[in-house]
Amino acid sequence: MIKYYAFEGRQVISVEELEQSDWVHLCAPIEEADKELYAKAFGIPLDFITDSLDIDERSRYEIEEDAKFMLINTPMINQSHKENEAIYLTVPIGIIMVGGKIITVSSSEEHPIIEKIVNNKVKNFNPKDQSLFVLHLFEQNTFWFLECLKKLNLKRNLIEQELYNSSRNEELRQLLKIEKSLVYFVNSLSANDLLMLKMKRIDFLKVRDKDPHEDLFEDIIIDNGQALEMSNVYTNILSGTMEAYASIVSNNLNSFIHRLTIITIILMVPTLVASFYGMNLTHLPFQDSPFAFYGLIITSVILGIILIVFLGRKTPDK
């Protein structure tokens, strides 16, 4: 699928023809034949499009003749309904600067960052400047990471509160999904951070000595570093929570087995006494007495009480 947009002042408007456009957005699904057609029409290598649609691609930049290519990773809500899948995945967005046009390529038709720019919801947005357009994309991507991290942390807090009240497998599965999402975030944010630092060092976007642009780029790198730090902190907290909960479950299981063992020992002695009189033997004490049954009951109870007192003293305090 291909969409064309033009810039009027600080606004983004949709247009019908390539010649009228300043920004071209390609999104999946795209047929193989169409990929080659678009690459030829824009004068860019086919890899720029195919790599942007590959969810396993890492952040990087390339220069091919007059075309500049950047690929960053961005969070997406996982549409899979499998229980063991992460809540968020990270997918690439390709950004190509060629022939005075901006070309973006994504594997999702509806992406929050693209939608926000298309709907003119970005503050201080100036699409006429290509370098600034790319910086705004980087900025919105970092903001989207931070927003997703806040949602994951809130969800984690709610699940922990549920775990305090009940020990259900559903909450543990949810924590595992959050942990998987954070792993994706840490890897993608690390790659994005390295990409932006390299781009800034070689002045890939030609923003050096342009104070507003350079300051914005510096702020984006700082915000991305903050998002990476938050991801690491949340991952460590979640790992600690899972380990602590596993220890609590193990301790509760040990306490239950300990109680069950004591009950088994207490019931074993009266059963042993009664089993002696269940044998087909002669000359058992009090076997002819009319009070033998009551004597066995009383003896079993007394032995049970003695065991309870003895084992109660030996049981360590919790």
> At 26, is the secondary structure helix, strand, or coil?
strand
CATH number assigned to the domain comprising residue 46: 3.30.460.20
Cα–Cα separations (whole angstroms), residue 37 to 32, 40, 50: 9, 5, 12
pTM assigned to the model: 0.79
CA–CA dist 189, 221 (Å, integer) = 10
pLDDT tens digit string along 39-92? Answer: 888 889 999 999 998 888 889 999 988 889 999 999 998 887 677 788 899 999
CATH number assigned to the domain comprising residue 271: 1.20.58
> Phi and psi for 228 in degrees, rounded to 5?
-65, -45
Cα–Cα separations (whole angstroms), residue 95 to 21, 46, 51: 16, 14, 11
Range of the domain at 301: 253-314
pLDDT tens digit string along 277-317? Answer: 777 666 667 666 777 777 778 877 887 788 778 777 765 55
Give the residue from 227, 250, 273 where a domain finishes.
250
CA–CA dist 160, 250 (Å, integer) = 18
Question: Residues 145, 16: one domain?
Answer: yes
Give the residue from 209, 233, 250 where a domain finishes.
250
Instruction: Give the model's pLDDT for residue 315.
Output: 58
SS (H, E, C) 162-211: HHHHCCCHHHHHHHHHHHHHHHHHHHHHHHHHHHHHHHHHHCCCCCCCCH
Instruction: Give the model's pLDDT for residue 192.
Output: 94
Instruction: Give the model's pLDDT for residue 2.
Output: 86
pLDDT < 50 regions, the chain? 318
Question: Residues 47, 165: one domain?
Answer: yes
Give the residue from 250, 267, 290 where a domain finishes.
250
Strand ranges of the sheet holding 60-64, from the earlier edge strand across to the other edge = 11-15, 2-8, 23-27, 101-106, 88-98, 67-77, 60-64
Structural domains counted in the chain: 2
Instruction: Give the model's pLDDT for residue 167.
Output: 61
Which pair of tokens denotes residue 191?
Answer: 């790659």
What is the CA angle 309-307-266, rounded to 5?
130
Question: Residues 88, 113: one domain?
Answer: yes
| 22, 7 Cβ separation under 8 angstroms | yes
**How many Å is the maximal CA-CA distance in the chain?**
114
Which pair of tokens denotes residue 76?
Answer: 């997406």
Instruction: Give the model's pLDDT for residue 147.
Output: 94
Which pairs count as long-range contacts for 210-217, CB under 8 Å and 24+ apart, including other chains? Answer: 213/129, 213/131, 213/132, 213/135, 216/132, 216/135, 216/139, 217/135, 217/138
Question: Residues 194, 273: one domain?
Answer: no
Residue 92 bridge partners (DSSP): 73
